[in-house]
Structure 1
């Protein structure tokens, strides 16, 4: 299911965009839950958990403030590195500012464009297709005593050694949750070779890495988390994510 959050201070246009989004879901056979907001504070107070299923459709000018939506997008991106951002505006000159603010917008739609519906349909279809691609990843599977546990591979950021128990490790997810496994990092490497040993105490999911700072020796994940990478492994890691 896709979660779509629409911000527009013109109530007529807000309802029209909601109608468009709901119809797109029906036309494409995609389950969509759409929510509307006419002011920034309401949306800020209801930000969902980070997820690739989240789509934010933001009017850039809110209540006469030309860059209000863009400023909000920085807060959204800081909270949710996984979401897709779509900007709606009558001001074409704002296009370059999305790159200045570095919020990685999915699309930029001008209100005077002939058919906003077609543009939104294309964007929503793209997000859904990407989700389907990610869902083809085989889950990470391990045993918890007599139970077999499957974890969505794309929900894993990294594993870290457990400082209080050398025979276990901590799994860190994209939703900032943790769970203890009765496996050390070497055991996990044997279970699943898709993870990369970035540090003697860290095993990372390459597909969740946003970027690496070689000078600082830090890996940054899409959800804002970070972990160290040793100098010994930086060059190989950079080659794998290039």
Structure 2
């Protein structure tokens, strides 16, 4: 695990470091590295290569700026679609509901309620299991800027042709991200045989399809997303997803 802690209060920063080290020993994390930052500028310069093992623990308010943690988390998510983001701050239900889903944050831990250790242990245990699962499952690989990114096939809902650029496609994931790829549907369909061509403009993952809406000619995914299915492919898709 590569853990990045952003906290401008030195005492709180060291407290979080101690908690993370203790939990890492308890859940038997073989390799982990803790990186400490007290400003968003420092963290911005220290962003790592995208990885499932990257964990960002961010205080929302840094150096008096109440939204600093949110702003840097947006940059993190643009740079790294696989990382886990955990917010640490004082309890505020409105802030929780507003921020958590903007950047697909894993958790929002209130540091004024005395449960940081318990909540952090749940989160790191969950992440460790996800990493272990990812190491044994098939991955979809694509290039993002100058690096390769790996994402489990099970985390992909579908691909849509990019009508503004015929050489690219848009990938929709189970956590509602939209990622532009430098591949068109024809290339994806040729190289990735596990996906189903439901429509001339769509390529979907049958494993994530919950059902077929024959009335509206759509595939319904477990996370609530929908995408078109041509009439001549509906029955074939339905057979694929039946238990």
TM-score by length of 1: 0.61
The CA deviation at 1:115 is 3.2
Instruction: Answer yes or no: is the 8 Å Cα contact 1:185–1:202 preserved in 2.
Output: no
Change (3 A) 1:18 1:198: farther
Correspondence for 2:219 = none
Change (3 A) 1:51 1:207: farther
Distance 1:18 1:231 in 2: 50
The CA deviation at 1:153 is 7.6
Correspondence for 2:128 = 128
Note the aligned Cα RMSD (angstroms).
Answer: 4.1
Distance 2:34 2:198 in 1: 39
Structure 1: 5+ residue stretches without partners: 141-151, 159-175, 209-228
TM-score by length of 2: 0.61
Correspondence for 2:152 = 154
Correspondence for 2:96 = 95
The number of residue pairs the alignment matches comes to 188
Correspondence for 2:55 = 55
* Partner SS, residue 123 of structure 2: helix
Structure 2: 5+ residue stretches without partners: 141-149, 159-179, 209-226
Q: Which has the higher contact order (CA 8 A, sep 6+)?
A: 1
Change (3 A) 1:35 1:155: farther
- The answer to whether the aligner puts 1:107 opposite 2:107 as a matched pair is yes
| Residues 2-56 of structure 1, C-alpha deviations (whole Å, 9 max, x = no match) | 1111000001110111121112111111122111100000101111122211111
Deviates more, 1:17-26 or 1:35-44: 17-26
Instruction: Answer yes or no: is the 8 Å Cα contact 1:196–1:203 preserved in 2.
Output: yes
Distance 1:184 1:124 in 2: 34
